Amino acid sequence: MWDAGLMYDARGAAMGAKFRWKGVNVVLGPRMNLARNWEGAGWFLAGAHIVNNILDIQCTTAGEAYSNNQDNRTFHERQLWPLAESVNAQARSVMCAYNRMNRTESCENRHLLNMVLKEELDSQGFILSVTGRRSPRWVHHHRWEHGRPQQPDAAARQDELIITTVAQCANTIVVIHIVGPVLVDVWFDHPNGTMILNAGIPGQETGNSILDVLRGGVNPSARLPFTMAKERSDYARDVLYNVPNTSRAYSPGINYPEKLGASLPLFFPSPLNSTTSGSTGRTSPRYEFGYGLSYTIFAYSGLALKPAFTSAAAAVPKGLAWQAGGESGLYSNALTASFGMKNMSKYDENEIAQLYLGFPKAADKPSRVLRGFERSFIEKGASAQFSLGLRVEDISTWHLTTTFTL
């Protein structure tokens, strides 16, 4: 998930070839935004994932079955971000979402389809109406569906199984297969526990790959694409229990009063200072977004920023014009962040460098937002140089009257 090359060369190319061989004309994916996709709720990370897939497979986008009630700025800086990236990557088709937007069905939402998608984002592709969302429907919750973050507790009696096992073995390694956050605080710090290995979604080579990691043949280098909290109450929302579904017109609504400070993408500040309380007033997470351990230690040094423009005004073209994905100039380079890294251990390893930005207090943003990442293989004792570009969009704030502003 944190490897752009893997997203493009392996996943996107393989899926594109498979769909072409099968004669598939429209792919219902990649999917984006909250709840439906296992990639997590970080909008920058989801946007990078989607763009690298679209470059190999022309696709549609899908949402989830709720009403997202939010203000204009939150919509542009969070929910719309991955879709704008998709249109900028020349997506040829877009599927309107399952959910309602501010209590209007997405497939009949004039503002979303005409003003946002066609005019603001300048999408030239066709719109596909979503299957099963042609009329209002109610939503059911199924307890053990797909491991969604709505149910962060471990399924069935798995916590009890882990506690019983670790009590009998002084060197227990817990391997978990998850697609979203789970709560681990009841057993994560047991004195007999040696390691927690998040192996993601299992495949046919799961056994061999896990053994390679445990025996040291492969050095783990993955990072979490979501946040794992200490308590269930740390998340902003829970399962909608006891929802009245006697009316076919009923559909639950989700308000976003916390705006850009929503707890699903990140618990801030993170990962630079995970001991400080988050910007939403919650305690620090158990494992933050972007977290991951390996057998290797890396030393960072020499962070430098090089601007591409002499001033903020020069970075934004005069006169409002539009291109695929939004305003003209929005995706042009504004800054370049460069830094060095040295492998301090005796193991060769991949490191995923993550670039987080902090905005001025007046911007009213979360204390840190992900704006870049790069994976690089560094041999033991060797050094590498990283260079991450920041676009105008990455360092801007959405204003209702002036759109994105530096």
Average pLDDT value for residue range 78-102: 78
Q: Do residues 44 and 125 both lie within one domain?
A: yes
In a domain, 289, yes or no: no
At residue 118, the pLDDT reads 84
In a domain, 192, yes or no: yes
Query: What does pTM read for this prediction?
Result: 0.69
Best-predicted range by mean pLDDT (25-39, 55-69, 162-176) = 162-176
> Three-state DSSP class for 84?
helix
Whether 389 shows a pLDDT value over 80: the answer reads yes
Whether 75 shows a pLDDT value over 90: the answer reads no
Average pLDDT value for residue range 178-204: 90
At residue 213, the pLDDT reads 92
Q: What type of residue sits at position 341?
A: M
Whether 142 shows a pLDDT value over 50: the answer reads no
pLDDT in tens, 278-319: 444 446 889 988 999 988 999 999 999 998 887 766 666 555
Q: Do residues 120 and 202 both lie within one domain?
A: no
Instruction: Give dist(CA 205, CA 210) in Å, integer.
Output: 9
> Three-state DSSP class for 30?
coil
pLDDT in tens, 342-384: 999 988 889 999 999 988 888 877 778 899 999 999 999 999 9
Sign of CA dihedral 263, 298, 202, 176: negative
In a domain, 223, yes or no: no
Whether 114 shows a pLDDT value over 80: the answer reads yes
Q: Do residues 122 and 161 both lie within one domain?
A: no
At residue 107, the pLDDT reads 82
323 DSSP β-pair partners = 326
Whether 257 shows a pLDDT value over 70: the answer reads no
Q: Do residues 73 and 183 both lie within one domain?
A: no
At residue 148, the pLDDT reads 46
- Which residues contact residue 21 at a Cβ distance below 8 angstroms, ignoring those fewer than 6 apart? none
Average pLDDT value for residue range 83-89: 81
Query: Which one has a higher pLDDT value, 304 or 247?
Result: 304
If one counts the domains in the chain, the total is 3
Average pLDDT value for residue range 28-43: 58
At residue 313, the pLDDT reads 64
pLDDT in tens, 146-177: 444 455 666 668 889 999 999 999 999 999 99
Q: Do residues 10 and 109 both lie within one domain?
A: yes
User: Residue 244: which pLDDT band, with cuts at 50, 70 and 90?
Assistant: low
Q: Do residues 8 and 124 both lie within one domain?
A: yes
Instruction: Give dist(CA 104, CA 111) in Å, integer.
Output: 10
Average pLDDT value for residue range 92-99: 77
At residue 303, the pLDDT reads 95
Q: Do residues 114 and 174 both lie within one domain?
A: no
Whether 77 shows a pLDDT value over 50: the answer reads yes
Whether 94 shows a pLDDT value over 70: the answer reads yes
Q: Do residues 121 and 158 both lie within one domain?
A: no
Average pLDDT value for residue range 130-155: 52
Answer with the one of 198, 215, 232 that is the final residue of a domain. Answer: 215
Token duo for residue 182:
């789970």
Strands (E), 261-331: 298-307, 322-323, 326-327
Q: How far apart are the first and last CA of the chain?
A: 29
- Assign residue 41 the CATH number of its domain: 3.20.20.300
At residue 337, the pLDDT reads 95
In a domain, 256, yes or no: no
At residue 19, the pLDDT reads 76
In a domain, 268, yes or no: no
Considering only 69-83, 118-132, 268-282, which range has the smallest mean pLDDT? Answer: 268-282
At residue 168, the pLDDT reads 93
In a domain, 113, yes or no: yes
In a domain, 146, yes or no: no
Q: Do residues 55 and 125 both lie within one domain?
A: yes
In a domain, 234, yes or no: no
Answer with the one of 166, 185, 215 that is the final residue of a domain. Answer: 215
Q: Which of 371, 202, 201, 395 is nearest to 290 (CA)?
A: 371
> Three-state DSSP class for 155?
coil
Average pLDDT value for residue range 45-63: 58
| Residue whose tokens read 């209702």 | 400
Q: Do residues 156 and 124 both lie within one domain?
A: no
Answer with the one of 66, 98, 129 that is the final residue of a domain. Answer: 129
- Assign residue 358 the CATH number of its domain: 2.60.40.10
Whether 83 shows a pLDDT value over 90: the answer reads no
Find the domain containing 195 and state its range.
152-215
Mean of the per-residue pLDDT values of the chain: 75
354 DSSP β-pair partners = 373
Q: Do residues 12 and 103 both lie within one domain?
A: yes
CA distances from residue 358 to 23, 269, 301, 368, 395 in whole angstroms, order as listed: 46, 10, 19, 5, 9
The 10 Å Cβ neighbour count of residue 189 is: 9
Q: Do residues 209 and 118 both lie within one domain?
A: no
CB–CB of 65/254 below 8 Å?
no
pLDDT in tens, 319-348: 556 667 777 778 888 899 999 999 999 888
